[in-house]
Structure 1
Amino acid sequence: MKKIEAIIKPFKMDDVREALAEVGVSGMTVTEVKGFGRQKGHTELYRGAEYNVDFLPKMKLEVVLPESQVELAIEAIMKTAQTGKIGDGKIFVYEVERVIRIRTGEENEDAV
């Protein structure tokens, strides 16, 4: 099993969720996060004063999948989250050693 973490632009979240549902992803965890990469934030104007915004709002999406679904999920995220502009985000893929559903005690793929 693998865990996919994707950091994407907030306005792309609904599109990504729908695309993942289409390829069979049944559950996910989503967190509002802030951060920056190469874009290093940006400058905004508020009441005539300019100020720097270092940490930009992003969404962090986490899913745990069987190996057979990983490439489909990655393709779905890339296709729907990509705008072609700086700050589109990143996808991280991790190995998952063990998963346990607390309610039933099911393990691994049965627990996902």
Structure 2
Amino acid sequence: MKEIIAIIRPKKMAQTKNVLETLGFPAMTARRVMGRGKQRAIIGEVSFDIQEPELLEEKGSMSYIPKRMISLVVPDEDASLVVEVIMRVNHTGQIGDGKIFVCPIRDAVRVRTDERGESAIA
């Protein structure tokens, strides 16, 4: 099994969720996160007034920018498909498209039934 962790633009969250669900991957965890890459954040990417001065850096950039982080665990054979789908939905060619991390998972347990391994994520 693999855990796919993707950090994406907030405006791409609904489309990403819908495409993954259509392909048979409806289960995921999603969080609102703040972060930035090496390029720093560009204020034009956000559609709200910045109220917290600690988020602002120099003119035209921020310390951190709102993103969405999704996490899903899939069988090994599906990991490449999930990564490709997330890339296609979220690719704009602009700075800030995001990152995807693929991590090995040794085991999973469904608390309700005590199922283990891939049957726990099915």
Residue 101 of structure 1 is matched in structure 2 by 110
Alignment-mate amino acid for residue 7 of structure 2: I
Aligned length: 108
Q: Give 1:43 deviation, angstroms.
A: 4.9
Check if 1:18 corresponds to 2:18: yes
Q: 1:18-42 deviations in whole A, cap 9, x for unaligned?
A: 1111221130000000000022123
> Which runs of structure 2 are paired with 1:1-112 in the superposition (5 Å)?
1-43=1-43, 51-52=56-57, 53-112=62-121
Normalised to the residue count of structure 1, the TM-score between the two structures is 0.89
Distance 1:87 1:106, change over 3 A: same
Q: 1:72-106 deviations in whole A, cap 9, x for unaligned?
A: 11111000011110000000000001100111100
- Give the structure with the higher percent strand: 1
Normalised to the residue count of structure 2, the TM-score between the two structures is 0.82
- What percent identity do the matched residue pairs reach? 38
Unaligned runs of 5+ in 2: 51-55
Unaligned runs of 5+ in 1: none
CA contact (8 A) 2:5 2:102 kept: yes
